[in-house]
Amino acid sequence: MKTECIADAIKLEGKIYPCTVSLAMDLIGGKWKAVILYHLKDGEKRYHELRKAVPYITEMTLSLQLKQLEKDGLVGRQVYGEKPPVKVIYSLTGFGKTFLPVLDTITTWGNQIASEKGEFVTSAR
């Protein structure tokens, strides 16, 4: 029997999931979460650095996704200073780093698709 099928559902932090894939996708699914995690994989970044790295995301969406990733324990947020402007640094947590092998596989697959079916282009930002 497959591991994800040993019970009727999975419960995590008060949420019920029908399978482990559903649980995982709740944590990293959507258009931007994996992209944000990708940009944090090589080290910590400030908010404006993430905003610059992901230019097509709105500020509101970036802020909401970072809050969700932090709530789910994938991203840590460190605040330096007490009065504005404060310095805020985002980084992967230990739990977030467990996603890196999956992220590397997704990146490789995306590169393969781009090479075989699309093309790499330089943006004129």
Domain ranges (residues) in the chain: 1-30, 31-117
Q: Residue 82 in contact with residue 76, Cβ under 8 Å?
A: no
Fold classified for 31-117: Arc Repressor Mutant, subunit A (1.10.10)
Measured CA to CA, the distance from residue 50 to residue 77 in angstroms comes to 13
Single-letter code of the amino acid located at 12: L
Measured CA to CA, the distance from residue 18 to residue 35 in angstroms comes to 25
Query: Do strands 87-92 and 45-46 pair parallel, antiparallel, or not at all (unpaired)?
Result: antiparallel
**Using 50, 70 and 90 to split pLDDT, how confident is the model at 123?**
confident
pLDDT tens figures, 66-117: 999 999 999 999 999 988 888 999 999 999 999 999 999 999 999 999 999 9
